[in-house]
Amino acid sequence: MTISAIAPASSSTPLTPLGRRRAMLALAMGGFGIGTTEFVAMGLLPQIADGLGVPEPTAGHVITAYALGVVVGAPLIAALTARMPRKTLLIALMVAFTVGNAAAIVAPNYGGLMVARFVAGLPHGAYFGVASLVAAHLAERGQRAKAVATVMSGLAVANVVGVPVAAWLGQNLGWRSAFALVATIGAVTVVAITAWVPSLHTLRTTDPRTELGALWRGQVWLTLVVGMVGFGGMFAVYTYVASTMTEVAGLPMSLVPLALMIYGLGMVAGNVVGGVLADRALTRGLFAMMGVLVVFLAVFALAAHNPYTAMIVLFLVATAGSALVPGLQTRLMDVAADAQTLAAALNHSALNIANAFGAWIGGVVIAAGFGYTAPALVGAGLAAAGLAVLAVAVVTARR
């Protein structure tokens, strides 16, 4: 069963255009909350370290704890909850997300915050996997990838609005206030999903054995590797963008938030472009965006020496990279047959691995003395490797 073959949301009470928009908004709100909590800790590490009395590098482990929660939670939750009705599962995942962030507000010490961040990360991948499947299920004919992109847009918009607002709150009212904002977003999302997402009776559930069957499909693994390797290039640049903009481009530290906002706007644009491309020509769109990402990453190594060109190319890097997400998510659901929930959830495990891997390899080349433009060149190589894996996936699928 491919997602294009799924029946409409309800044969007895079809969705109105307004009802469909409300459902998509509710799903995107969850992505907005998740995106905000995923990235806001990076900008509040000094405050977290001071508040808990630990060194800043130690405080940085709360980011790792969240990513570990994503990697562990995505396959585990997707498999164990295979029989649960999809709407019920979405609500349960957002409740868990809200509880995890609420726990961060009252965490008494560093260990408590580590546990809270791990718990908050557990629903991340499963939520995006299930929400993407539901969005494709509710979409009008020929617009399933656009619907998936709508869910992902919450993650992109979080980098433009949610993260800066939460960081401002954390810097002015204490770091715990940032997690209070995220917990509030989670609670509002629970209400919105309950009220606006239809019952989804015609969206078939599976079972753990069926979902785990995705792990035996070569095309699933190849598509995941495309994300793990190719996206590593984008994260190699993003992780060190603040230092690159100040040390290489000569941008004042006070304008670094502007650079981050421009990157976030690129992510928003990429989601829109990626959704349209994937609906029109899924495979060709993936090849085009991965190839463009290789070029823009390589160009950024040169453009980074001027603040204006650096910001322009940074926007283009974010656009090209984010445009891959709807296509990869859609391809995973297609090649997974009946195991779509697990496959879609695993995409976010793969992207978090790419985040960790890209940050690590970028740090290696900087520590080796190659400078802050080196991550962009290494990133271009990683994106090219992802392009090669995508070619292998397409050729073997045709055979």
Dihedral sign for Cα 301, 302, 303, 304, please.
positive
Tens-place pLDDT, residues 105-134: 999 999 999 999 999 999 998 898 889 889
Q: Which range in 35-44, 70-79, 127-136, 371-380 is most confidently predicted, on average pLDDT?
A: 371-380
CB 80 within 8 A of CB 212: no
Q: How far is CA 281 from the centre of its chain?
A: 22
CATH number of 213-399: 1.20.1250.20
CB 63, CB 42: distance < 8 Å? yes
Q: What are the tokens at 340?
A: 């779509």
The closest of 333, 383, 323 to 153, measured between CA atoms, is 323
**C-alpha 90, offset from chain centre:** 17
Query: Which amino acid, one-letter code, is at 126?
Result: A
Query: Model confidence over 167-182: pLDDT tens digits?
Result: 888 888 999 999 999 9
Instruction: Lowest mean pLDDT of 97-101, 151-155, 175-179, 302-306, name the range.
Output: 151-155
**Tokens representing residue 295 in the block:** 């070029």
pLDDT value, residue 13: 53
Mean per-residue pLDDT for 249-263? 84
Q: Where are the domains of the chain?
A: 10-205, 213-399
The DSSP 8-state label assigned to residue 109 in this structure reads S
Q: Are 253 and 246 in contact (CB under 8 A)?
A: yes
Mind listing the pLDDT tens digit for each residue in 352-390?
A: 788 778 878 888 888 888 988 999 999 999 999 999 999
Q: What is the CA radius of gyration of the chain?
A: 20
User: What's the fold here for domain 10-205?
Assistant: Growth Hormone; Chain: A; (1.20.1250)
Q: Distance between CA 320 and CA 288 in Å, rounded?
A: 9
Nearest to 390 by CA among 212, 270, 228: 228
pLDDT at 215: 74
- Asked whether residue 163 carries a pLDDT value surpassing 50, the answer given is yes
10-205 and 213-399, same CATH topology? yes
Distance linking the first and last C-alpha atoms of the chain: 20
Q: What is the pTM of this model?
A: 0.77
